[in-house]
Structures are given as structure tokens and as C-alpha cells.
Structure 1
Amino acid sequence: MGADAELNPVLADSGLPYDLPDFAAIGDDDFLPAYDIALPAHLAEIDAIAGDTAAPTFENTIAALEASGRLLARANGIFFNLEGADANLRRSQIAQELAVRLTEHQNAIAMNPRLFARIAEVYSRRDEAGLTEPQRRLTERKYRDAVRAGAGLDDEGQATMRRISARLATLTTEFCQYLLDDTNDSAVHVLSATDLDGLSDAEVAAARRAAQDRDLPGYLITLELPTSQSSVAKLTDPQVRRRVFDASIQRCARGNEFDTRAIILEIVRLRAERAELLGYADHAGYVIAEETAPDPEAVAALLRELGAAATAAAHAELARLTQVYGAPLGPADVTFALAAEQRSRDTGPQPGIDEFEQYCELDAVLRDGVFAAAGELYGLSFTERPDLHGYHPDVRIWEVADADGTGIGLFAGDFYARPSKRGGAWMNTIVDQSTQLGTRPIVVNVLNLTKPEPGEPCLLSLDQLTTAFHEFGHAVHGLLSAVEFVSQSGTSVPRDFVEFPSQVNEMWALHPDVAPRYARHWRTGDPVPAEVLDAVRAAGEVESAHATVEYLAAAALDLAWHRVRADRIGDDVLAFEARALADAGLAEELIPPRYRSTYFNHVFGGGYSSAYYSYIWSEILDAETEQWFLAGGGLQPGLGRAFAAAVLSRGDSVDPVAAHAELLGAPARIEPLLRRRGLLTAAE
């Protein structure tokens, strides 16, 4: 590390455990100078590799390339965690500048002819070089990445690729920022507490704080990322819940300064143009070539198969709700009626699902649920470190140790919603594990829970509880990584496999060996009544057809946008969306997609373009694995260790699907997924 890097707090050795950044010492004005150091330093490393006069080998080319750019990785790990979870105007400006600079930097490396020639030489001799499986997979990945970035194109083609990739980087960054701004701008203002009837005391208090923060009287109902809003499921006033639902579904399509429709059309055209330039039929083909699914048609076939069954079930579900409700239903009413039905299902005169929240206090869920299950399965222990500080005062940090008591990494939890945080929930890494680099992981889980008033508990709904376990599944995937090469670490697996470990972890949320540990009344400490827990399990055993159609519609919409040629896209986003849903058989007026195009952040702002199907694709593996765990006795250390050894620890150093099949003794089947989704009876 040079003297300049040692003086920059972003790049300097912090002296903290696990090389945790010293966030207190880092200001926004430190980031661009850090990149001014890190980018040239990385290019100098690349020039040295490309200019090596020795014959290309795995060690002097592929492994050297893998080890390069550590200063840049550190800057990225810090800044992009901040930019998503705690944005401000200055960070947004920096993100826009970096979007172009980082893309140009990546292009300069990918299109370096001397470097590509060395990579290609190692790739061509991989069969005779005696490489290990991780080394071979890394060699093949580096070669494919270079080709897919345009290394094999002529000068004109490379110039086109540079233009496209730079513009896409700018547009996707803008999409994220527009969505955050319009989501904040679309919050629903009400004046009376009676308008909030149905919400919890904590939710009412949060709405009051949100209004006060904007110097407004009354209350402000803020929006979550998906179309369906948890507040809509609870608000008893039909007019208020329709206002909230309409605000959600109209985001970024209101003709204001945050309208994303022009951005979407340009993104889709550029992605299609890039795919055609590289010889793919469309962007979906370009993306899915690197996933575990064989091709876009296989994905479309799965969506059609599930969609036909799900829409039939949804029509029956809607007919039942309409009969019970006794009046024509709008989409907001369906959300409310489904939630009301779930709360009352199988509960009789006993307390039902609503009461379960009183037994799901955040700290208890973490300590005695999420962490305890990981301890039983994988031998992990978690010690909170109040002496270590994250990037925001709300961030908490735990040191993670293995069964021998050896520290393996840090887990950071950023649990509460704030206007500067984008919606949804996710896992990020600040530092990735690698034995080559000698790094241990620092992983972050980001949620959007309602922050309680001082002295009050943070109580989780069933959906929030499931999300907490889901995101921690990603965290465990990162924490248990034990690979040599950083680009194969943890969650660096195909997109349609990455959701699998997190979905598996959801099964422990209500498991009989886990739920009784954390589910104690936040005030009295009394254990959750058996009938309440039974009611919650019954409500969660089969996901509503409504939720399945919501998801499938979004997945089909993503695929439709990215299977069209650049010259056939048209200029009307909402018209294209309507046609795509109709063509997929998923145009349900009462069940809009989980995300409409204008606020589909996974696809137009994140890394899930042509891959939103991955949740259901991964769920095939998850449903089969859940049965494997249950057949073996559930929360058993032997099963956890086997799962970690075969899947979680190996990242992308092996074929993850083959590793999973070897663990279970056979490839996963779709039937367990269909039963879980209520689309197949046990007899079938």
C-alpha cells in the first residue's frame, strides 16, 4: 500500500478486527480521492500481469488477476454499502460519477489485448495443466467474463460495448435514485389517527414521526418496495388503503421528475443491442447463459406451468373472498381480505396470527431464533461487539466464531427503515472471504423494520420474521465460505442458485425446535400459546395463490422485457407491460405484479435482469432440501454440517447444483415445490 492510500481513511488499514472499516473516520469527501488512488493502482497491477514476459500460467495470470485490485475492492465494499442503505445527495452524486468511471475501468481491463491473450492461452491449455476444480472453474470464468465484456470484438465493436456499458451504468444508477425519491414522495398523508385504524401502536407512532420529520401535521404512511403494502393488509378504512395501494402502484409513472419510463426503455434497448453485438438472441439469452437454468425457454416453460396452476387457484381464491366480502373487490381490498382470512384461519375463539407479533421481539428473534438455529446447525456463536461501529448509529455488529471458538468474521445488522435507505431487504458484504488473500468475511443484513419509540419493543410480523431468517441465510452463506479465490466466495454463485440457501433458512422460523425458544411475550416473558403457534404454522403452510401469481407475473414481465429485440420494444412502457402479462396468461386485474416495471428495482436497478425467475428456480432446490432436513430429524448438527460442507462453504468453487444433487443423492424434483405452493395435492 502506498503512502497516499495509508493516508486515506477509506483505504488505510483501520487496525480494527477483521479489517472492519473505521466508519467514524470516513467522510463523503474521502471517497473520490480513494478511487483516484485505487483505480490507477489496479491498472498498474493489470499492466504488470499483461506485460509479464514469462509464458502464461494459471499462477502468473489467472491467480494474479484474481489477487489484484484489493484497494478498489475495499473502496467498493464501503461505498456501495453506504449508498444503498444510507443515501444522501452527496453520495448519490458520487455514485453517478463512479457508475461511469468503474465501467470504463472494467472495460479497460476486459479489453486489454495483451491480458486477454494471456487469459485465452491459459484457457486453451486448461485440460493439460493439472488444474484443481476451483482453478479450472476460475480460469473458465475469467475467459468467459472477458469475452462477454467484448474482448473478442473488433475495434468498432469494442467502442460500441464501451458506449453501451457506460450508459447502462448511468441509467441503472439513476433508476435506483429516482425510485428512492419517488417512494419517499409518494407517502400517503392523513390527518387523523382514526385513518390508521388497524395498524399497531408502533406503526402509528412511526407514521407520526414520519410526518414530523417533514414538518407535516398528522401522519405519513410510507411505502415499501413491492406493490402489496403491509399497511394495506391492516388498514380497516377502505378509502385509506386504496390511497396507499394506488400510491404504490403509480410510483415512477406519474409524469414527474422521478418518472422512470424513459430510463426503462433506454435500458432495455441497450441491453438488447449489447446481447446482439455479442451473438446472443436477446438479453435473456446473454444472462441465462451464465445461470444454472439451461436457456430462456426452459425458464419460460416453468413460468407457464406454474402460472396455469396458480391462476386457476387464484380465481377460486378470489371467488371465495368475494363471496365472504359481500361486495366487489379492488386490488387493495383483496390484499386486506386475504390478510383478514389468514388471521382468522383455523383459530376459532383462540388468539390468532395477529397476537403472534407480541411474541416476536427483534432481539429475542435474533438471539434465540436466528442465531440459535445457526448455532445448532453449524456450530456458530455470536457475540455482540458494542465497541465496533457500523456506517450508521442503528447498525449493530456481532463477532462470529465457529465450534472451536475461532473467530471467522463479523455480522452487521441494519434493521430499521429510514428515508435514506432503499426499500426491501438484502445482504451485502464489506469484505469477502478468501484464503488466497487471507481475508475473513464481514457481511451485512439490511431490513426495513419500523423503528420503535424509545423503551418500546420492535415486534416482527410473520412476513418480517420470515425475511429476517431469509436474509440471514445469505449471511451464513457468506460467513461459512471456505474458498481460496475471492470471486468464488460465499454468495458469488449463479443468480438462480444464490436464493437457495436463504430460502432453506426460512424453514427454521417456525420449526418446533426453534420457535419456542424465541417466541415469548415481549412484556410478560410467557411462552407463545400452542394454539397461536399452530395457527401461525397453518397460515404459513401454503402460500396464497395471490402471492404466487404476484411473483410469477413479475418474473414473466422481467423475461418479456429481455426477450425482445431492440427494434421491437416500442415506446410505451405500460402498454408493453400489459401485453406481456396477457401473453403470459398472468394479466389479473385484481392481482398486479409484485413489482410493476416502473419500480422493478431488482431488474432495472439491481442485478436480477432476466433473472427474477431465480427465486422460484431456487425454490425447487429449497423445497426438496427442506424435506431432506425433515426426514433426517430437522435441526440436527450432522445435517447442518453436511449442508455447510457440501454447499455453503464451497461457493462457486464447484458446480453448486451438482454439489446439491450429491448431497441429496439425486437431482431436485419440482413436486415438493408444487405441494408447498398449494398447486399439487399430497396424493399427486
Structure 2
Amino acid sequence: MSVLTQHFDTKHNTAPFSQINIEDYFPAFQEAIALAKAEIDTIVKNPEAPTFENTIEAMDYSGAILDRLSSIFFNLNSAETNDEMQKIAQEVSPMLSEFGNDITLNADLFARVKAVYEQKDTLNLSTEQATLLDKKYKSFSRNGANLPEDKKDQLREIDKQLSKLSLQFGENVLAETNAFELHLTDENDLAGLPEGTIEAARSLAKAQEKEGWIFTLDHPSYLPFMTYADNRELRKKMAIAFGARSFQDNEFNNEEIVLKIVKLRQQRANLLGYATHANFVLEERMAESPEKVMAFENDLLAKAKPAALKEFEQLTAFAKELDGIEQLEKWDGAYYSEKLKQQLFNLDDEKLKPYFQLEKVLNGAFTIAGKLYGLTFTEVFDIDKYHEEVMTYEVTDENNNLVSIFYADFFPRKGKRNGAWMTSFKSQYVKDGVNERPHISNVCNFTKPTETKPSLLTFNEVTTLFHEFGHGLHGMLANTTYPSLSGTSVFWDFVELPSQVMENWCYEPEALALFATHYQTGEVIPQEYVEKIKESASFQEGIATLRQLSFGLLDMAWHGQDPTNITNLKAFETEQFKNTQLYPDVPENAMSTAFSHIFQGGYSSGYYSYKWAEVLDADAFEYFKENGIFNKEVATKFKDNVLSKGGTEHPMTLYKRFRGQEPKPDALLKRAGLI
């Protein structure tokens, strides 16, 4: 047996990273799949009549070794990958799809599930059990269990292709991101850039044994460059390179891949009896249907567009007055927005960063979680980690019981994909009377400490840390019986509520006082800065909302109608952006070819859920504000009805139990300054 397929003999059964060799993965997957198949066989061959316990419950607890192995492998493939791991991912992904299909297309297993499902009204199940039964039945019916054999084979083939295509999509985007660098040797080209950004670019050049400064398309390098670099031509070069990822005439082009993915998804939905991929996806969402999503997005669009146009006019006039710019282009947006913001609020990231030292911000998040939910975070040094930069914590409650293990991984490196995310190395569930506690991880890409400075965050990075930490709390506070309903296993348009609501504390003086202190002097962030942060939070919110809606509408355009006749990706996209477009189009750029959320992540037909969850989060935080942002009673209601409940009930039921009513968009529109 491989170290990866047995109970880990480690503290809290944490992943034994240092004992894993890359060559262990493939055989471990073969072994774990065989073990999981054997567990399923035992359920199928059980001579006793199907019951909730011997079929539904047994299935949910099966495959635990495979789940654990998959989470370790795929988490590292995102956070600490290399060519070998990517190759294994390409080999293993189709095996896992195949195994998933072996289960959902197993007629004898489905017969047992169906037998239990058909007598559900007489079984006297708890709410959580009823949800699990419904979910298990749907996992078959939504994956073709009611189809005739020939159609099941078609479905298998489609799923196999889709899993390979989305992996290929992601690898192409990563390759293109890594392939570009802007190497500068003339100091004049650095005009406008913050000292920290220049220092980071210098380190990057040094690491490659080059003179000068190197800028890349990774966010910590790209975003400050686009925001501060005075040299318009260089901003243009960077912006075009960023927007051209996987839309160039080379081996990493994703145009065909995108068209194949949307057409296969459509075929899959049709096979299962749904009009479109979006109809299929939204059946298992709070939003329920493409019509509801479109109505939601168009309603917000109608409210945001007038504000966006006004803001864009203001920005255009400002750029013209400042630099005689006749036509604002995409590479001007962040730059002039930042300048205008400084003029209006006299507040820039460089002023704020000294107050947001990474360690202090993280401890601030811990303190707030302590005040709200009674949690304590203690850094420990005897838990294995997959990279020396990762920090490990034990999380305990007021009675000193272990709540969770928490991993924090904050800096960019070669084997780590862009962005920020929360994930889990081990789920929470209750089995044989033992409440197995979860192992949760937050992964981000913040500016590294340098020889002279600690890691200082932009305010945007502060909210990112709080956002991912909110997802983290959803995972850590999980308290359900069944692994598949635990933690963040909730409807996709509900999953962003815990993360987005957490961001609100970053704007509150009472919360900022806990962690926003100057890294050199220890002085608390001045009140005027706090006020300006709050005021500036709704700065250009119309433009930001329009941009967010444009992504959601593009997603729905790909997935909410039959894409069979789409032949030209760029032309299709241009058409979709007509209603939300502010800047002139850039012919050599496309959005979809690097839109990883919907073509590699799980957001297809779901991008709207960021805005949907903003409505929830603004409404929820309004409740906190009415009662005090550290009000224990409201926090406990949120913990008991939202954070700990996972997917055990319909999210609207949970939300109403917490809030006493359905969410209204008014709090969001007010917060965004749109009404």
C-alpha cells in the first residue's frame, strides 16, 4: 500500500506531504480507484433490500481514500505544480471521469437508489437525510442513469473529452501567462511605479541573472504596472499581451477548445433532456433558471448602466484635461481611475500599504473570527507542509476542542496558478460517533517580503484575504453528518455569501482598529483614511458593476442558448459585449480564451453568482450593522444557520432562518451608491 492510500499516521491525520514522492501518485490513484470500486460493489451486491443506511449512507461514506488523495493531488497541482504533475493530471483526470461514470451509470446501483428514493415519504428521514437522498438520486438522473445504453456511452465519451479539454485550456492559459515578460533596462520607463513594484521587478530580473527589471502577467506584477506606469505605450503592450492570452496563432490557442467545450456541454444537456447547459446547471442553484438569471442581471444592468456611463464620462474628461487623451483605451482605465481617485480622495495604495502588513491583517481576520464565532488560531510547527512558505494553524473553540486545521499559503511562485482560492485537504463529517474535523487551506498571491520590507498589502489584497478567509470559515465551522453535504458543498450561488460577507469588516473602523497599524510606528490607521476607504469603496462602482455583469452575460450567452452555429469566437464575444461596452474593442484580444472561471473552474452558467451573492452579503451585513458588527447573537445565528449547515437544506430556507426574510437588493444598491 502507498503512503497515500492508508490512514495517515500524523498529527490530526494531516497530509504527510514530505513523505510523498511524485511517482507515488499514479499507482496510488489506481489503488484508490480499485478500493472505491470494491466499496461500491459491496453496496450493489448486498443481498438485503435497499435501505437508506445500506445504500445512500454507505455510498456517501465510500471512496474516502480516493477523495482524500484527489484533494491532495489536485490542490498541489494548483499551488505547487510542475511538468510531471501536470502530466499525471492529464493521465488521471480521464480515469476519474471514467470512475465517476462507472458509478452514475451503474444500473444495479441506481436501481437500489431509486428503490429508496421511491419510498422516501415513508422513511421518516431527518432534513439532512432527505437532502442527501435527493442529492444522490439526482447525481444519477442528472448524469444519465435514466438513459438507454447507447446514450449512456455517448455521455461517457462527452465527459471524457470535457475533462481533457478543460485541463488543456488551463495549461494553455498558464503557459501563455508564463511566456510573456516585459524586460526593461531604461530607468525612465519605470516612472510612476511604486517602489515596492520596482523592487519586485528587480528581484525577478536578478533571479534570471538579467540587468534591469522584469514585469510579468502575474497579478502582483501586472496590476500595479497597469495602475501606475506613466508610459502609455508600455501599458498598452502589457494590456494587449494580457488580453491576447491563448488568442494567438500558436500551440496555446484556446479558440477551438472553447467552441468544443460549449458544444459538448450543449450536447450533454440535450442528451439529459435539458434545453441548454444553463438549464441543466441552474436546476441545482438558488437562481433555478436561465430566465431568472437574465432577469436578475438585466435588472442590475438597468440600474448600474446610467451610473457607469456618467462615471466613464467623468474619467474621459479627467484624462483629457490631465494628459490630452482624446480616446480612453482599455490600458488607460486603471491608470486614470487611480489618478482620479487620488484627486478625489487623496488616498492611494502606497499611503495605505504600510498599515496592512500581511501578518497583522491575517491576525486581524483571526481576531474577528474569535469575536464573532469564539475561535482561536494557534500557529503550530509540527504539521507537515508542501512548501516552506506555508503556515499551519490549529483552530480551537471556546472549550479548546479542535475545530479545524488551517493552512495559509500567500506568495506567488513558479508552480502556483494566479489568483486566490480556498480549498480543503480533508472534509468534515461524522462517522461512528466521531466528528472528523476538516483541514482547510487559503491560497493567495500577495507581494513577497523583500530585504527591506515585510509583505505589505494593497487594500484590495486585504479584502481578498478576508474573502478567502470567509470561505475558510465556511469550511472550518462545518458541522454536518455526511461528507458530501459538508462545508462549502452548497449551491454555487450561495457559496460566495460567507466569503463576501467577511469583506465588509475591512471597511469598519471598529474592525480596522484591530489590525490596521503602521508596520514601523505601530500607529493605528488614521480615521480620515478609514473614512476615505469607505467613501472610495463605491468609487466607480457603476463601471465595476457593468464589467462584472458583462462577464456574467457572456457566460450566459455561451451556455444559455444553443451554441452549435457559433464559428467565430471573437465575433460572438463582441456581439455579447455591445450592451456593456465602454472602451473601444482591441482586435488582438479576446476574453473567452482565458476566461478560466467558466472553462476550467466550476463557474459555467454560474458567473452571475458573484453578484447574486453580493445581494445576499449586503443584506446579511445590514443585519449585523443594525445590531453591532460584533453582535454575538447575530453572529451565532449566522454560524448556526449558514456557516455550519453546509448543503443540508435549501439555501433560501437557511438564509431566511438567519435573516427572518428573503434578501432584498436595496442594501447592495445603497452600498454601491447606485441609489
Q: TM-score, normalised by structure 1?
A: 0.94
Which residue in the other structure is 1:20 paired with?
14
Change beyond 3 A, Cα 1:550–1:566: closer
Q: Which structure 2 residues correspond to residues 126-145 of structure 1 after superposition, within 5 A?
A: 126-145=120-139
Unaligned runs of 5+ in 1: none
Q: Residue 124 of structure 1: CA displacement?
A: 0.8
Change beyond 3 A, Cα 1:531–1:352: farther
Q: Which structure 2 residues correspond to residues 64-103 of structure 1 after superposition, within 5 A?
A: 64-103=58-97
Change beyond 3 A, Cα 1:16–1:538: same
Please say if 1:626 is aligned against 2:635. no
Q: Residue 224 of structure 1: CA displacement?
A: 3.8
Please say if 1:121 is aligned against 2:115. yes
Q: Distance in 2 between matches of 1:262 and 1:422?
A: 23
RMSD (CA atoms): 1.9
Change beyond 3 A, Cα 1:37–1:486: same
Which residue in the other structure is 1:269 paired with?
263
Amino acid at match of 2:656: A
Q: Which structure 2 residues correspond to residues 560-599 of structure 1 after superposition, within 5 A?
A: 560-568=557-565, 570-582=566-578, 585-589=579-583, 596-599=591-594
Q: Residue 353 of structure 1: CA displacement?
A: 5.0
Which residue in the other structure is 1:30 paired with?
24
Q: 2:48 aligns with which of 54, 63, 71?
A: 54
Q: Distance in 1 between matches of 2:12 and 2:358?
A: 26
Which residue in the other structure is 1:501 paired with?
498
- Summarize deviations over 1:260-317 as a string: whole Å, max 9, x none: 1111111011000000000000001111111110210110111112123322212111
CA contact (8 A) 2:6 2:65 kept: no
Q: Which structure 2 residues correspond to residues 110-189 of structure 1 after superposition, within 5 A?
A: 110-189=104-183
Q: Distance in 1 between matches of 2:451 and 2:190?
A: 21
Secondary structure of the corresponding residue to residue 448 of structure 1: coil
Please say if 1:308 is aligned against 2:317. no
Amino acid at match of 1:526: E
Q: 2:362 aligns with which of 357, 363, 366?
A: 366
CA contact (8 A) 2:244 2:590 kept: no
Please say if 1:260 is aligned against 2:254. yes
CA contact (8 A) 2:308 2:540 kept: no
Q: 1:524 aligns with which of 521, 525, 533?
A: 521
CA contact (8 A) 2:470 2:498 kept: yes
Secondary structure of the corresponding residue to residue 214 of structure 2: strand
Please say if 1:601 is aligned against 2:600. no
Secondary structure of the corresponding residue to residue 423 of structure 1: coil
Which residue in the other structure is 2:334 paired with?
335
Secondary structure of the corresponding residue to residue 567 of structure 1: coil
Amino acid at match of 1:579: E
State which drifts further: 536-545 or 460-469.
536-545
Please say if 1:425 is aligned against 2:424. no
Q: Distance in 2 between matches of 1:34 and 1:93?
A: 15
Secondary structure of the corresponding residue to residue 608 of structure 1: coil
Q: Distance in 1 between matches of 2:299 and 2:42?
A: 52
Amino acid at match of 2:657: E
Q: Residue 215 of structure 1: CA displacement?
A: 4.4
Which residue in the other structure is 1:345 paired with?
344
Q: Distance in 1 between matches of 2:656 and 2:392?
A: 35
Secondary structure of the corresponding residue to residue 442 of structure 2: strand
Q: Residue 407 of structure 1: CA displacement?
A: 1.2
CA contact (8 A) 1:227 1:245 kept: no
CA contact (8 A) 2:180 2:241 kept: yes
CA contact (8 A) 1:49 1:115 kept: yes
Change beyond 3 A, Cα 1:501–1:595: farther
Secondary structure of the corresponding residue to residue 514 of structure 1: helix
Q: Residue 188 of structure 1: CA displacement?
A: 2.4
Which residue in the other structure is 2:533 paired with?
536
CA contact (8 A) 2:127 2:649 kept: yes
Please say if 1:445 is aligned against 2:469. no
CA contact (8 A) 2:497 2:616 kept: yes
- Summarize deviations over 1:144-203 as a string: whole Å, max 9, x none: 011111111111100000000000000011111111111111232222343233333332
Q: Distance in 1 between matches of 2:221 and 2:575?
A: 19
Q: Residue 47 of structure 1: CA displacement?
A: 0.7
Q: Distance in 2 between matches of 1:454 and 1:74?
A: 38
- Summarize deviations over 1:525-572 as a string: whole Å, max 9, x none: 12222222222221114552221111111111011001232522x221
CA contact (8 A) 2:422 2:471 kept: yes
Q: Residue 580 of structure 1: CA displacement?
A: 1.8
Q: TM-score, normalised by structure 2?
A: 0.96
State which drifts further: 56-65 or 538-547.
538-547
Q: Residue 256 of structure 1: CA displacement?
A: 1.6
Q: Distance in 2 between matches of 1:545 and 1:337?
A: 16
Amino acid at match of 1:10: L
Q: Residue 11 of structure 1: CA displacement?
A: 2.4
Please say if 1:473 is aligned against 2:470. yes
- Identical pairs, percent: 36
Q: Distance in 1 between matches of 2:515 and 2:217?
A: 29
- Summarize deviations over 1:507-535 as a string: whole Å, max 9, x none: 11121221012111111212222222222
- Summarize deviations over 1:468-516 as a string: whole Å, max 9, x none: 0000000000000000000111100011000011000001112122101
Change beyond 3 A, Cα 1:543–1:477: farther
Unaligned runs of 5+ in 2: none
Secondary structure of the corresponding residue to residue 287 of structure 2: coil
Q: Distance in 1 between matches of 2:380 and 2:249?
A: 47
Secondary structure of the corresponding residue to residue 225 of structure 2: coil
Q: Distance in 2 between matches of 1:566 and 1:530?
A: 53
Q: 1:492 aligns with which of 470, 489, 494?
A: 489
Change beyond 3 A, Cα 1:443–1:595: farther
How many residues of Structure 1 are paired with residues of Structure 2 in the alignment? 667
Q: Distance in 2 between matches of 1:581 and 1:362?
A: 37
Amino acid at match of 1:293: A
Which residue in the other structure is 2:396 paired with?
401
Q: Distance in 2 between matches of 1:166 and 1:130?
A: 39
Please say if 1:678 is aligned against 2:668. no
